[in-house]
């Protein structure tokens, strides 16, 4: 499992075109291009498909998933740069960078005010990807820094975490999903030199390790703290089967989040946590390979 944790963090430039062709279908760029072409005007973003017709359901920019689809276009742009475009892989059928930039434009205003709370990290994804292409893009730099500031403002040093949902004090709720949003703090710290952002990210991850992760590698979805004392008052779920179950998507958030913390800090404790959680996930996949909700 150490191999798994390391694999997901290897730079694309190391792996590049060494992936077997079978791991990438030419249908991927075809389907993504079709979705880009179907985006409404004004821009809304795909989140899930209708269960009957299979049609995308689109949502306004101020939605927690809105950054995912533009970032997917950036991912195809990166793959095209690394692997080249061929008739077999279909990566040359679109200007992915241009499409992604156009689709990201509707997210810019959210850097100042939005209704997504801790999920500003998700909203920042396209702008982080833009900076990988053009580090001098002022709009992207400003967006990343502003999203990071919004997240940092949700940090409570007594609890040791950024707040997830805005429940009234003294109830301070933190969900495992927050591990996915810490990355924007590191990106902004690199841009600004503000080490306080790194401290917030590592403190949140350390507190999450202590209180969200079970000994067997399973996870609680929601930890309730007392805002003023930092005491854990309850461990529950909001989307899993029960309070004592492990919500599959939350487990995936934890695997990625802690592996990413290892990448950013080099702290092997985060790698070990990611490995423990991944072992639990793999050890509980049913024989049909379909992961339960």
Which member of 50, 119, 166, 288 is catalytic? 119
Which member of 62, 169, 171, 177 is catalytic? 177
Mean pLDDT (whole number) for 162-189: 97
> Where among 124, 153, 182 does a domain terminate?
153
For residue 8, pLDDT beyond 90: no
Lowest mean pLDDT among 4-8, 26-30, 56-60, 273-277: 4-8
> 132 and 52, same structural domain?
yes
Q: What is the CATH number of the domain that holds 139?
A: 1.50.10.10
For residue 1, pLDDT beyond 80: no
Q: What's the pLDDT at 12?
A: 43
Q: What's the pLDDT at 20?
A: 65
- Look at residue 191 and tell me if it is in a domain: yes
Query: How big is the CA angle at 139 (ends 130 and 36), to the nearest 5 degrees?
Result: 50
Q: What's the pLDDT at 18?
A: 58
- Look at residue 9 and tell me if it is in a domain: no
> 169 and 231, same structural domain?
yes
> 74 and 98, same structural domain?
yes
Residue 43 sits in which domain range? 15-153
Max CA distance (Å), the chain: 61
Q: What's the pLDDT at 23?
A: 72
Q: Tell me, yes or no, if 272 is annotated catalytic.
A: no
For residue 263, pLDDT beyond 50: yes
- Measure the CA–CA gap between 200 and 195, rounded to whole angstroms: 9
Q: What is the CATH number of the domain that holds 270?
A: 1.50.10.20
Mean pLDDT (whole number) for 148-176: 97
- 254-289 b/e with 16+ CB inside 10 Å = b? bbbbbbbbbbbbeeeebbbbbbbbbebbeeeeeeee
- Measure the CA–CA gap between 29 and 11, rounded to whole angstroms: 22
> 180 and 221, same structural domain?
yes
> Where among 125, 153, 181 does a domain terminate?
153
The number of distinct structural domains making up the chain is: 2
- Whether 207 contacts 160, CB under 8 Å: yes
Check residue 258 and give left, alpha or beta (phi > 0: left; psi -120 to 50: alpha).
Answer: alpha
> 128 and 176, same structural domain?
no
Residue 24: pLDDT band with limits 50, 70, 90: confident
Query: How big is the CA angle at 277 (ends 75 and 154), to the nearest 5 degrees?
Result: 70
Lowest mean pLDDT among 4-13, 104-113, 201-210: 4-13
> Where among 136, 153, 170 does a domain terminate?
153
For residue 270, pLDDT beyond 70: yes
Q: Tell me, yes or no, if 177 is annotated catalytic.
A: yes
> 244 and 124, same structural domain?
no
What are the pLDDT digits (tens) for 100-147?
999 999 999 999 999 999 999 999 999 999 999 999 999 999 999 999
Q: pTM of this prediction?
A: 0.90
- Look at residue 176 and tell me if it is in a domain: yes
Q: What's the pLDDT at 14?
A: 44
> 278 and 219, same structural domain?
yes
> 117 and 25, same structural domain?
yes
């Amino acid at each position: 499992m150490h191999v798994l944790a390391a694999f997901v963090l290897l730079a694309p430039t190391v792996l590049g075109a060494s992936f077997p062709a079978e791991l990438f279908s030419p249908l991927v760029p075809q389907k993504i291009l079709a979705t880009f072409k179907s985006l409404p005007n004004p821009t809304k973003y795909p989140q899930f498909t209708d269960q009957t017709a299979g049609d995308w359901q689109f949502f306004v920019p101020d939605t927690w998933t809105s950054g995912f689809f533009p970032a997917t276009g950036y991912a195809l742009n990166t793959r095209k740069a690394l692997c080249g475009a061929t008739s077999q892989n279909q990566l040359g059928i679109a200007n992915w960078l241009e499409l992604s930039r156009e689709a990201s434009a509707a997210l810019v205003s959210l850097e100042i005010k939005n209704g997504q709370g801790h999920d500003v990290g998700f909203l920042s994804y396209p702008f982080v990807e833009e900076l990988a292409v053009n580090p001098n893009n002022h709009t992207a730099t400003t967006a990343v820094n502003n999203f990071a500031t919004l997240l940092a403002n949700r940090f409570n040093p007594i609890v040791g975490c950024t707040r997830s949902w805005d429940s009234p004090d003294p109830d301070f709720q933190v969900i495992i999903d927050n591990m996915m949003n810490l990355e924007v703090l590191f990106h902004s710290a690199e841009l600004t030199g503000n080490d306080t952002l790194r401290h917030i990210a590592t403190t949140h991850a350390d507190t999450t390790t202590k209180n969200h992760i079970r000994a067997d590698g399973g996870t609680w979805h929601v930890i309730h703290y007392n805002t003023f004392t930092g005491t854990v008052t309850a461990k529950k779920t909001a989307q899993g089967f029960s309070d004592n179950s492990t919500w599959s998507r939350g487990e995936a958030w934890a695997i990625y989040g802690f592996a990413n913390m290892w990448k950013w800090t080099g702290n092997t404790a985060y790698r070990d946590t990611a490995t423990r959680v991944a072992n639990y996930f793999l050890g509980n996949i049913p024989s049909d390979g379909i992961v339960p909700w």
